[in-house]
Structure 1
Amino acid sequence: MTNKIQPVLPQITIPPSIGTPENVTTTIVDTSARPQDRTTLRKEIRKCNVILLVYADHYSYERVALFWMPYFRSLGVNVPVVLCANKSDLVGQGSTSQVVEEEMLPVMAEFREIDSCIRTSAREHRNVNEVFFLCQKAVTHPIAPLFDYKEGHLKPACVDALKRIFYLCDKNQDGYLDNQEMRDFQSRCFDKPLTDDDLDNIKLSLSKALRGADLSKGIDLRSFLQLNKMYAEKGRHETIWIILRKYHHTDSLSLEENFLHPKFEVPEFCSAELSPAGYRFFVDLFLLFDKDNDGGLNDEELEALFAPTPGLPPSWSDSAFPSSTVRNEGGYITLQGWLAQWSMTTFLEPKTTLEYLAYLGFEPPNPKDPITSALKVTKPRKRRRRPGRVERNVFHCYILGASGAGKSSLLDAFLNRTFDGLYHPTIKPRRAVNSVELPGGKQVYLIFEELGELEPAILENQAKLDACDLLCYAYDSSDPDSFSHIVDIRKKHPQLDELPSVYTALKADRDKTMQRSELQPDQYTSSLNMSSPLHVSVTWNSISELFVALAEAAANPSTAFPKSDDDMIDRTSLYLTLGATACAAIAAVMIWRRSTNAM
């Protein structure tokens, strides 16, 4: 009597508790190679995550390259394949290494989708569990994105990811992972300590692989990449994946979307600012990369700092960074300018700041806190005319005025630049950001923006106006036609009256001239019940007083609005009268209660 084996076995499910490398459930689906079952085979292949391709003799081995692998490709599937040489108990000659070298490696070299290979024997239960473990690992820890077996090296995307991880682990940025940094790396990735013996063995293996490399200072980038290459060569690619995933890399080796772009909403009329933890991170980053201690980040230091990122944020490049903020005499961004630049970025595009915090390795002081703890959201500023200070540290100011009024020179003076007498018309909007110290010692950041030829379009855009805290109306006190431009702007755009504003007369070092306007500037501001224009010159040391006045107006917006005559009425006597009336009413109630109780 012969045993009949059914052509297709029932589906088998292996729960996570049975030796799976991760918390996954594995479903094994048997298929038939018969032509009449080809439709079912196609459906199952298109649904699967990994293919276990089994052969047992020379004929079935030949069909691997001649039929099966081309067939998988014709179906357009992109899943790993595990190659299995079964019935190894029937092969009486040839060692395992010979079989791998003569049979399997040539096929693997031809078909890159083959993830791994193994010899098994179902009769002797040899490597049966292992073959399904390889299938699981091919899905949960694929080798294809990491290592190129044909070329024998890590793939470029994997190298880039590991370079980022090395950068983040090299806390002192000396180019080496010292013993403590290696222990911290081991603890973070594998949740277990790295013993001295383990570290010595790692260094010994690296020294042999790199022909006596000097590891006395620690493990450099070349050695770190070699260590991971050794893991891949030995089939320990799950170790590389554990490292990559601990540092938020996906299966495609990009960073996780929710890590780069966490949910962070800024309600209407609110704004985003760096929190104390965010400021501390950027201060430490600046000090760490200012290798020559000259108080500025030169091109090489900036390049090293932004190494794990795609480069400078696009908005920085568009604003000709670092000319948008404070630089030292060598033209390099200072710590003051560095913090100002990030304050502006956070205010204008907080999601960009969060993205770069992720790239640069920000870690919240409390490990349980999200990366968004580096930012904070300010209170709404809907009621601009209400007396009182605005609880914010970053303010956005548009400077408006006629061409040639001196707006660009004012921005240069704001950044402590020397005066340039040549006239350069501003075409596209230009921003400058710097810190301003208010009376009392509080420091805030002021974003000064000149609108250029886009001024009309921006002033018509309500969203742009809602993002603005203050208007600075500037005119050339030596040009008789300069002030009329401001009058025309306010007539054409009455919505500007919803924003606080400050008037300033530039080029006060020149002879003052009468303005060709229905009202002179002082009369005009007086008619609005506002302060007279501040007369300043970028050549005067007192120019900083203007920036303090602007910041103060932004922090106390109710002081910088046009006021009607009703708004100017002194309500002190009214408040005193109301107070006296209220006191009299309270006294009357108390007397009435006492008389009632006496009865």
Structure 2
Amino acid sequence: MFLCYSNSDSSGYRDSSLHHSFFPVGKCFLFDYNFEQLVPDVFYYAQKAVLHPTAPLFDQEKQTLKPRCIRALKRIFMLCDHDMDGALSDAELNEFQVKCFNAPLQPAEIVGVKRVVQERIRGGVSDLGLTLEGFLFLHALFIEKGRLETTWAVLRKFGYNDELKLRDDILPVPTKHAPDQTVELTNEAIDFLRGIFRLYDSDNDGSLQPSEFDDIFVTAPESPWTVDPYVDAAERTPQGNLTINGFLSEWALMTTLDPSYCLANLICIGYGGDPTSALRVTRRRSVDRKKKQTEKNVFHCFVFGPKKSGKSALLNSFIGRTFSSNYTPTNDVRYVANAVEQIGGSQKTLILQEIPEDGVKKLLSNKECLAACDVAVFLYDSSDEYSWKRSRELLLDVARRGEESGYGVPCLLIAAKDDLDPFPMSLQNSARVTQQLGMEAPIPVGVKLRDSKSVFSRIVSAAEHPHLSIPETEKGKKRKRYRRLVNSSLMFVSVTVGAAVAVVGLAAYRAYAARKNT
């Protein structure tokens, strides 16, 4: 036996494409099926379960809509509430009906819908129209009554897939670009985000409290920065509130790591411009190197170094975290991002990616691992000779990979823990190595003394000049000399052949002229 619904006394939304009213309020009755009737019904309901699954929408145990479904329906409600008065007027309801089901509503049907909502839920209807509470109630009722196809039709019309995320086909993310090109937010998207920050900063204190931050993503599938790699990746106030720099830096990080996810969240929180205007692809880094300048606004820095060299302390200081003497090893890749003020008043966003020592070999096994890296820094404990030697080894490994792959990157050495006594011959050894590789002298940093701020400006400056600070190993120098020799030899051969051809041509002309005269 199957539970069915009669449309004989129905009123409310009509769905002509599905041949039933959007909101049925008819009589419930039961049918006994014989075997011939049962077989096609089994296939029908099996197909319905696949096309219109219950699990993403409804919690059967709690008998409530699931959070992700509520978030999606909230976004749809807000998109349809054109006058933003918190309710769907009759005209807005009718427009919604036409958009989703290609059929207008009659005045009596609108009255019927609102009457049912009023009878079942307080606050579902106001003087202005159907409220968000009423809108959510209707969909919960559809699902309870087995009318999942109605809610799914609405969700799919507004671009959602079966996981209640925006479909890829409505996310025009640039995918065809070279490995050494990255994706950034455009100025238009950044201006939109600044406006969002100001809008949700209700107390105007220049930061977002957790509740204010959560409100921004109430129409997204979930709050995107509560899990790795985004959690604890940006600057916050001592009270734990997100600053404007932290807010924009998180977006820059998300754009760099997952442009599609970034664009989906932008659209979900209300970005109304052309989605193609939100992202831009940067110029190839190899071209930047030839032109000796870059147009990038976001720089990605790999942070290498042996264990206990101070990598985590450097990252923490970058986002304003206090120094801790407790050592906690980093086992996974970690990111932080923040804005860096440059000389002249320009501001760039710097992303620091901490590479655990144990993960370097795996990273470098990928030929294109350095393609997305704008600059690399190598930390060592200036009081520990082993730390220096290990950092030098890592630097040489990265330099070799850069030479082999063609993705050589500017590199800087950072002498961390400068507040401690250096090991013997520290300055001499580091000066010799940097001179051999054609690099700057190591930058002394004492994170414990909170004097690391200038180092981040140095890192950005190195990234802004992609043709400088690229280390050259002996093997790389030999390869370059060999290429120069080959090129000069080819040039010599070309000139020689050209001269010979010219001489032969002149001799032939003279012989021809002599025969003509005789």
Do both share a fold (TM > 0.5)?
yes
Residues 108-128 of structure 1: per-residue CA shift (max 9 Å, x gap):
xxxx99xxxxxxxxxxxxxxx
CA offset at residue 75 of structure 1?
Answer: 5.5
2:441 aligned to which of 526, 532, 543: 532
305, 308, 320: which one aligns with 2:219: 308
2:401 is aligned, of 489, 495, 498, to: 495
| Contact persistence 1:475–1:505 (CA under 8 A) | yes
The corresponding residue for 2:74 is 163
Aligned partners of 1:398, 1:550: CA distance in 2, in Å?
11
Task: Give the secondary structure class of the aligned counterpart of 1:472.
Answer: strand
Structure 2 residue aligned with 1:325, among 224, 231, 234?
A: 234
Aligned to 2:314: 410
Alignment CA distance shift 1:451-1:391 (3 Å): same
Instruction: Determine which structure has more spread, i.e. the larger CA radius of gyration.
Output: 1
Which whole-Å CA distance do the structure 2 matches of 1:203 and 1:76 have between them? 32
Contact 1:433/1:446 (<8 A) preserved = yes
CA contact 1:514–1:520 (8 Å) conserved in 2 = no
- Work out the CA distance in 2 between the residues paired with 1:147 and 1:472: 47
Is the 1:322–1:332 contact (alpha carbons within 8 Å) kept by the matching residues of 2?
no
1:505 aligns with: 415
Distance 1:420 1:286 in 2: 31
Q: 1:79 to 1:418 in 2, by over 3 A?
A: closer
What amino acid is aligned across from residue 360 of structure 2 in structure 1?
Answer: E
Query: How many Å separate the matches in 2 of 1:228 and 1:77?
Result: 20
Residue by residue over 1:218-249, the C-alpha shift from the partner in whole angstroms, topping out at 9 and shown as x without a partner, is 75422223466799999999997775455224
> 1 CA distance for matches of 2:402 and 2:168?
39
In the alignment, is the contact (CA less than 8 A) between 2:80 and 2:96 conserved in 1?
Answer: no
Residue 331 of structure 2: SS of its match in structure 1? coil
Deviation (angstroms), 1:554: 0.7
Give 2:193's match in structure 1, choosing from 282, 300, 307: 282
Change (3 A) 1:431 1:161: closer
User: For residues 134 and 458 of structure 2, what CA distance do their matches in structure 1 show?
Assistant: 56
Between the aligned partners of 1:549 and 1:236, the Cα distance in structure 2 is 61
Q: Work out the CA distance in 1 between the residues paired with 2:44 and 2:143.
A: 27
1:471 corresponds to which of 376, 382, 389: 376
- Give a deviation string over 1:176-214, Cα, whole Å, max 9, x none: 6157x8866765764899999999998777545546878
Note if contact 2:382-2:417 (Cα within 8 Å) is conserved in structure 1.
Answer: yes
Contact 2:303–2:352 (Cα < 8 Å) also in 1: yes
1:375 aligns with 2:285: no
Q: Does the C-alpha gap of structure 1 residues 466 and 185 become closer, same or farther in structure 2, counting only changes over 3 Å?
A: farther
Cα contact 1:278–1:374 (8 A) shared by 2: yes
1:551, distance to aligned residue in structure 2 (A): 0.6
Q: Structure 1 CA distance, aligned partners of 2:42 and 2:141? A: 34
1:234–1:324 Cα change, 3 Å: closer
Give the 3 Å change call, closer, same or farther, for CA 541–183 of structure 1 in structure 2. farther
Distance 1:195 1:69, change over 3 A: closer
Gaps of 5+ in 2: 1-14, 20-28, 481-518
Q: Flag the 1:78–1:402 CA change in 2: closer, same or farther, 3 A.
A: closer
- State the distance in 1 between where 2:56 and 2:299 align: 47
Q: Look up the equivalent residue of 2:381 and give its one-letter code.
A: D
Q: Which has the higher contact order (CA 8 A, sep 6+)?
A: 2
Return the TM-score normalized by structure 1. 0.61
Q: CA deviation at 1:284?
A: 3.2
The alpha-carbon distance between structure 1 residues 154 and 528, as it changes in their structure 2 partners (threshold 3 A), is: closer
Residues 523, 196 of structure 1: CA spacing in aligned structure 2 closer, same or farther, 3 A cutoff? farther
Q: How far apart are the structure 1 equivalents of 2:45 and 2:142?
A: 28
SS of residue paired to 1:224 = helix
**SS of residue in 2 equivalent to 1:273:** strand
| Aligned mates of 2:135, 2:45 — CA distance in 1 | 34
Gap change, CA 1:246 and 1:410, over 3 Å in 2: same
User: How far off is 1:451 after superposition?
Assistant: 0.9
Q: 1:400 aligns with which of 301, 304, 309?
A: 304
Segments of structure 1 that go 5 or more residues without pairing to the other structure are 1-19, 27-60, 81-111, 114-138, 568-599
Name which of 415, 427, 431 aligns with 2:331: 427
Q: Is residue 302–residue 354 contact of structure 2 (8 Å, CA) maintained in 1?
A: yes
Instruction: Give yes or no for contact 1:436–1:443 (8 Å, CA) kept in 2.
Output: yes
Aligned match of 1:102: none
Q: Is the contact made by 1:399 and 1:472 (CA closer than 8 Å) also made in structure 2?
A: yes
CA distance in 2, matches of 1:430, 1:155: 35
* Contact 2:174 2:281 (C-alpha < 8 Å) held by counterparts: no
Q: Deviations over 1:391-442 (max 9, x none)?
A: 1111111112222221211111111122222222222222111111222222
The residue number in structure 2 matching 1:552 is 461
Q: Out of 548-557 and 189-198, give the one that drifted further.
A: 189-198
Rounded Cα–Cα distance in structure 1 between residues aligned with 2:326 and 2:123: 61
451-460 or 199-208: which moved more? Answer: 199-208
1:282 partner amino acid: L
Determine if contact 1:325/1:433 at 8 Å carries over to the other structure: yes
TM-score, scaled to structure 2: 0.69
Instruction: Compute the displacement of 1:333 (Å).
Output: 2.1
Say if 2:173 and 2:263, in contact at 8 Å, map to a contact too.
Answer: no
SS at match of 1:462: coil
Residue 558 of structure 1 aligns to a residue in which SS? coil
Equivalent residues in 2 for 1:117-516, closer than 5 Å: 161-168=72-79, 177-178=86-87, 190=98, 206-207=117-118, 209-210=120-121, 215=126, 219-226=130-137, 244-249=155-160, 254=164, 257-259=167-169, 261-262=171-172, 264-268=174-178, 269-313=180-224, 317-319=227-229, 321-364=230-273, 369=274, 371-383=275-287, 385-452=289-356, 453-493=358-398, 494-496=400-402, 498-515=408-425
Deviation at 1:77, TM superposition (A): 6.7
Contact in 2 for aligned 1:505/1:536 (Cα 8 Å): yes
Shift of 1:255: 5.1
Q: Give yes or no for contact 1:271–1:347 (8 Å, CA) kept in 2.
A: yes
Is the contact made by 2:142 and 2:150 (CA closer than 8 Å) also made in structure 1?
A: yes
Q: CA deviation at 1:331?
A: 1.6
Q: Which amino acid aligns with 1:435?
A: A
Question: Is the contact made by 1:411 and 1:432 (CA closer than 8 Å) also made in structure 2?
Answer: yes
Aligned-partner Cα distance in 2 for 1:475–1:183: 67
Cα offset for 1:377? 0.7
8 Å contact kept, 1:481–1:515: no
Classify the secondary structure of the residue corresponding to 1:396. strand
